Amino acid sequence: MRVYLPSTLTLLAGVHTAREIGPAPLAAHAVTPALREWYAGGDLEELEYAAMSAAARASLRLLAADPSAPRRRVVLAAEIPDDQVTWPRGDAGLANDDRALVELAVPVPWKLIASGHVDDPAAVPDVTAAADALPAADAGDDDARFTVDGAEGHELLWYATQELPHLLD
């Protein structure tokens, strides 16, 4: 199963050094039955994009929690055996991002990472503003929600795994 793990450049440096994402359990995002049901008209590519977008929003939360991390969202895509992935059954009451939420039972070795997805440096001002606005957005401030949504206007760039270390220089 393809899963999308939220990260930051700071966390990516640790993952690269450790050669794995861990410790387990790990929160990730994937195409789950609840996401398929919610987005019934979407093909697999659209569903995977929705799961990756949910992971990008989770990355923004990681940035808000770590003011020292460079202000670029990071999502790592990995291929995980199905039996190591669990998710809530049903979708009653789930928020949109939660429909894609899964849990990984074991750490993810570097060799299972398929690609990285990272904000372009041009997105830094909008991502910075979004990370700063996140607490107010969570409290219901519409202007702050608009600012947070502004980060989603930036597409994440695709990186092959061998390119990821170059982002850490």
The per-residue pLDDT for range 37-62, each reduced to its tens digit, is 888 777 888 999 999 999 999 999 99
Q: How far is CA 157 from the centre of its chain?
A: 13
d(CA 102, CA 42): 19
Report pTM: 0.91
Per-residue pLDDT at 98:
82
Residue 74 and residue 7 in contact, taking contact as beta carbons nearer than 8 Å: yes
d(CA 135, CA 65): 10
Which amino acid is residue 129, in one-letter code?
A
Mean pLDDT of the chain: 91
The band of 126, judged by pLDDT with boundaries at 50, 70 and 90, is very high
